[in-house]
A and B are shown apart, each in its own frame.
Chain A
Amino acid sequence: MAAVPHIDFVLNGRPVRVEAPSTGLTLLDFVRERGLTGAKEGCAEGECGACAVIVVAPEGAGSAYRVANSCLLSLPQAAGHEVYTVEGLAGTGELTAAQEAMAAAGGSQCGYCTPGFVMSLFAEQYRPGRVGPCDPMAMGGNLCRCTGYRPIRDAALSLGPAPPGPWLERLSQPAPRLEAVRLPEFSRPTTLDECLALMATQPDAAIVAGGSDLGVESNLKGTRWSHVISLEGIGELRELTEDGVSVRIGAALPLADLERLWTDAPAVFAGWFALFASPSIRNRATLGGNLATASPIGDSAPLLLALDADIHVAGRDGRRAIPIASFFTGYRRTALERGEIVTAVELRQPYAKHLRFYKVAKRRLDDISTVAAAMAVDRDVDGRVRRARFAFGGVAATPVRIIEAEEAAAGQPWTAATVERVQRALERTLAPISDARGSADYRRQVACSLVEKFFEESRT
């Protein structure tokens, strides 16, 4: 008799086997049905963090506790992982330091969001290499409607080094190795070739990296796929390689890992990471996913457009590189052929001397942009613009570079008069829409205004 398809993973330190796990069931639903009701559904789209759980991830020779939104993980994605819910923390009855601090500081009022905050704070306290007090922004993916955050900030600031004990000892051990998974509805290959072969046999399969977008589509639109292929187990797609001339960022490398590993990233990225969603989303979200989903308001595209990135893709017919300027072909459409996936993003040095990223949104942190912009200017020795890049999100059906604006600057001195020429070009070419995030008029005007802001910041 053939074995029933199943997955195994570790939940709060105990092995769990699930037979025939459905991709339509979230990890959140699964743990709640098992009576672990500390994790809550607050929004079902990864915005509130009430469903946060910890997934053990590799870091260096050991591992790290990483918070993930369990509402955005389908149950099969948990295969092979080591997962903790809030019930796993105080299993012996003794509160962890994070829990003690939250309770003592008045960090809970209605308490509904609290388990999620606790998970984020716990993970932060045990973050490898952390020094000083815990960073409250580690809880940037958790929303609280009651407290106004001040007591939660104080709870974080009151926590010092992770106390010695089993939780700390665990981190010196490696994270579980992700093995291949083959289920009728879900596959997790471990090599690129295997992945491409699967895509050929499952042409309608959805591809998932972190799941921060696909999970939302599943939860809010009820979309179901005949098959889902996860890229999480393919080591090649999670590498960061630098050779002094260029840097290649694996398409399925979580942004949190990119931020940690890319120690000599251009300065603009430091601010960009902070503006890209929230820490818990960055723990899962990837550059490849952000590009392949081709949202006109994605955060990575404008910056990568301004950097003239190459998008490396692979299919059964081989590999190729697509200049990002020709990657987006229409609303939510890309130059990817059927059977192709993004494998890496490549950036070449030297980077522009003046390079900025701006995000205009109703909320400063963890919002979707009304307008995003990345701008770059290089000048000749005589001060004339050698190369300019003006790239935007939120002003068209795709992320765009405005060539007319770049040409308006090229060869000109970088002066207020040139800025005005650029603005005239933008006014001629931008055709944004009005929606709940902003009016067309505001989008057009703020895009022009951002060029002025960039000028103020790049005059010298």
Chain B
Amino acid sequence: MSAAGRPVAHESARGHVTGQALYVDDLAGRFPNLLHAWPVLAPHAHARVTSIDTTAALAVPGVVTALTSADVPGENDSGPIRHDEPVFPAEVMFHGQPVAWVLGDTLAAAQEGAARVQASYEALPAILTIEGAIEAGSYLTEPLRLARGDMTALASSPLRFDGELAIGGQEHFYLETQSAIAWFDESGGVAVHSSTQHPSETQEIVARVLGVPKHRVIAECLRMGGAFGGKEVQANVWAAVAALGVWKTGRPVRVRLTRALDMALTGKRHPFLARYTAGLSGDGRLQALRLALFSDGGWSLDLSEPIMWRALFHCDNAYHLPAVEAVGRVCRTHKTSQTAFRGFGGPQGMLVIEEILARAAADLSLPAHIVRERNFYRDGDTTHYGQPVEQAGRIADIWTQLKDTSRFDDRRAAVAAFNARSAHVKRGLAITPVKFGISFTATFFNQAGALVLVYRDGSVQVNHGGTEMGQGLFTKIQQIAADGLGVTLDRVRLMPTRTDKVPNTAPTAASAGTDLNGAAVLDACAQLRGRLQPVAAGLLGCDPADVRFADNAATGAGRRVPFGAVCDAAYLQRTPLFAQGYYRTPGIHFDATTGTGKPFHYFAYGAAVSEVEIDGFTGDHRLLRTDILQDVGDSISPVVDRGQIEGGFIQGVGWLTIEELLWDERGRVATGGASTYKLPSWSELPEVFEVNTLERASQPDVIFGSKAVGEPPLMLALSVREAIRDAAAAFGHGPTAVTFASPATPERVFFAVAQARAVRAALR
């Protein structure tokens, strides 16, 4: 029986529920003489460091040493692309930036020591907003540009309007904060346990800071307690600090950020500012769009450039833009360096086009869902960057199916009836589509390696470059390897991700973990199966072509041999029982100078219907019901995929409604803890939550016909924002163009309701 396609529980489920599943900091007790690290935090958003005196810190009992730039044997920098992130800065670039680290026998000693480090600063002016950066000309990139079509269509469009939209950022709030433990291994190398999505880059940054070749460094990731993009590059520096401490003291070193430190020091989803002019026909068809996107990149480049590219790629969402000129630029501000977060700029781009279509619908007195569907891509269309929209028909298919199963039209009537009799509580209903491009836009990342080891007893170890952060990659890989070798799941052990097993790996990101690593693992399994086939044929007395591997056995000619017996025979016949697998995504390319190409292997599609209820007295809303239909191809792991869809959706709901990320006038994160920054809790779970996947959706050229599922569902939450808009408008009279910045907090919705009522009063 095939393992793929079965609704199996998470590969580590038993470990999770018993507490036996280990995370980096759970290993602290395994390292005798462990040192604990604590940072010295700069009390300015922007300043020159004029001196650092660690004398008083070193006098604290239990303090072993302090780390400063003088201790760096290699390069004092952890920037992943541009080398613009000093580990020990001479110029402080955001509030709380660590300028030194203190190592102690206990955490308390390190903390006490850090408090006693005497650092002095010369404060400099700080830029803390996108508007301030634009005014000051403070940017991290040149303008990035995608354009096509005849922009004179803008002037001739019957409906034309301008707008500006502020989009808030989002804190990852992975439950496990950034953590690393480093030590000298037994043969002169430095090893590090890191909660990282990109062990190869963690290895690279550690080697860079220590000034050693990469082969001296081993990075390992057991699993992460959530990451969501926040550990794609931002795990590196903590590993580097731990490794530097090892280098200096010879003792193992632990770095673990508390929640307060993590929120103060690590990057978030980019806040965006969008300025647009849109032109539409009288029946609501987009004619032309001029769009300027500004993102708040924070103090260093990080991944901000590809994130802006993805925002530009996705400013169409599922809609055909005949003429468009979209320009994006990353602002440099004196804040945390904003980074990858599920969707990687895509959500911000899509939010803008949904805002535009909602406004157009109100201006044209058309239902928003009609305007949306009139603009869908059709088969044969290409995107504004020249990529054919393959399977474009799925957008309308999903839409129609979902409207039907969610009884969209009936419920629209019911909502209108409810609103007619309810003065203070109004309901809103909205449907929105998602089209999301799958692949790293940095083409070279679209490769993966695997190392599959089979032992004489037929048990299997699988190594690959992907990391497990809860997204179920290891579950799917286990299923793929089981089917690849014809064994049951319990025969396949997934090994922690280590750079000494598979080198030069890509980050586990861009939703592509299974597509890439799964294909590499399957490649290795196919090689092994090919070698085992003749051995089994010999044992079974049949033609090699007739051998079948399934359920821990080889069969052929009506006979059956246990898989372990085949492996043992293969060993005795001197057949190698390990194989390296490799995969590279075919046919993708993008030219940034022309803004054209095929950056994505394929698109993932979906749609959601959400219904909300707003209390006009407070602006508070409840999510009553959500229906989702998502295209996941042929699902390898239905429980995992459903979990990704639901979890991504709710995370998107958080971003768009309650997760309000704020900085104060000094540049400190004002919502820097769980008591001020609110994640979705039980109150955000819709009372009715219907989730389905598209049937007969096999995806050509992807492992087992599946499709990526990590990021696309996050953007299904746009349906909630649009439903809130619909409900707020119901407080007005007739179609009302209600606009509000994101997230739609009760405060913003309260004032949006007031805006709608004011229109009503004016009409009266």
Contacts and interface: CB of A to CB of B under 8 A. Distances in A.
A449 B746 CA distance: 13
Interface in A92-148: 95, 99-100, 102-104, 106-115, 118, 136-137, 139-140, 143-148
A330 to B, nearest CB: 22
A111 B12 contact: yes
A104 B9 CA distance: 6
Interface stretch (A44-52, A193-201, A337-345, A407-415): A44-52
Contacts of A78: none
A436 B670 contact: yes
Given A110-B174, A450-B618, A102 B682 contact: no
B619 A39 contact: no
A117 B231 CA distance: 24
B643 A106 contact: yes
B675 A442 contact: no
Interface in B16-40: 16-23, 25-26, 29
B683 to A, nearest CB: 4
A363 B470 contact: no
Contacts of A438: 747
Interface in B462-511: 469-472
B675 A109 contact: no
A363 B643 contact: no
Interface size class of B (residues with CB under 8 A): 35 or more
A446 B619 contact: yes
B10 A106 contact: yes
Interface string B742-755: 00011100110000
A45 B469 contact: no
A145 B651 contact: yes
A14 interface: no
A40 B18 CA distance: 13
A404 interface: no
B59 interface: no
Interface stretch (B72-80, B90-98, B220-228, B529-537): B220-228
Nearest to A106: B639
A146 B25 CA distance: 20
B674 A45 contact: yes
A136 B682 contact: yes
A353 interface: no
B18 A38 contact: yes
A114 B647 contact: no
Given A47-B675, A99-B17, A108 B10 contact: yes
A112 B647 contact: no
B253 interface: no
A50 B259 CA distance: 12
Contacts of A40: 23, 175-176, 225
A365 B23 contact: no
Contacts of B22: 37
A358 B746 CA distance: 14
A148 B685 contact: yes
A380 interface: no
A365 B682 contact: yes
Given A42-B259, A103-B14, A365 B683 contact: yes
A17 B470 CA distance: 37
B647 A147 contact: yes
Given A43-B259, A453-B618, A102 B17 contact: yes
Interface string B242-272: 0000000000000000111000000000000
Contacts of A386: none
A109 B620 contact: no
B681 interface: yes
B747 to A, nearest CB: 4
Contact of A436 (B676, B681, B684): B676
A111 B674 contact: no
Given A148-B647, A438-B747, A110 B223 contact: yes
A437 B676 contact: yes
Interface stretch (A149-157, A165-173, A234-242, A424-432): A149-157
A452 B18 CA distance: 50
Given A43-B673, A113-B175, A89 B470 contact: no
Interface string A29-63: 00011011111111111011010000000000000
B466 to A, nearest CB: 14
A19 interface: no
A143 B622 CA distance: 19
A24 interface: yes
A449 B617 contact: yes
Contacts of B25: 37
A281 B23 CA distance: 26
Contacts of A36: 19
B17 A45 contact: no
A439 B750 CA distance: 12
Contact of A149 (B642, B674, B682): B682
B234 interface: no
B681 A143 contact: yes
A115 B17 contact: yes
Interface in B724-764: 745-747, 750-751
B290 interface: no
A86 interface: yes
A449 B281 CA distance: 41
B108 A44 contact: no
B649 interface: yes
Interface in A61-104: 85-87, 89-90, 95, 99-100, 102-104
Contacts of B580: none
Nearest to A143: B679
Interface in A192-216: 216
Interface in B655-695: 658, 660, 662, 670-671, 673-676, 678-685, 689, 691
Contacts of A136: 682
Contact of A445 (B174, B176, B673, B750): B750
Given A89-B18, A148-B651, A364-B683, A436 B658 contact: no
B13 interface: yes
Contacts of B684: 363-364
Nearest to B663: A436
Interface stretch (A3-11, A316-324, A366-374): A366-374
Contacts of A86: 17-19
Nearest to B619: A446
A355 interface: no
B674 A43 contact: yes
A456 interface: yes
A106 B17 CA distance: 11
B309 interface: no
A15 interface: no
A366 B680 CA distance: 10
A37 B683 contact: no
A13 interface: no
A362 interface: yes
A364 B620 CA distance: 8
Nearest to B639: A106
Nearest to B30: A35
Given A43-B673, A89-B18, A106-B643, A146 B226 contact: yes
B658 A110 contact: no
A52 to B, nearest CB: 11
A38 B19 contact: yes
Given A38-B19, A40-B176, A148-B646, A360 B651 contact: no
A150 B18 contact: no
B620 A150 contact: no
9 contacts: A50-B175, A109-B471, A110-B223, A110-B225, A112-B174, A146-B226, A364-B620, A438-B747, A453-B615
Given A45-B675, A108-B10, A115-B17, 4 more contacts: A44-B259, A44-B260, A112-B174, A149-B680
Interface of B: 9-10, 12-23, 25-26, 29, 108, 111, 172-176, 223-228, 258-260, 424, 469-472, 615, 617-620, 622, 639-640, 642-643, 646-651, 658, 660, 662, 670-671, 673-676, 678-685, 689, 691, 745-747, 750-751
Interface pairs A-B: 6 shortest CB-CB: A38-B19, A110-B470, A112-B225, A111-B16, A148-B650, A47-B674
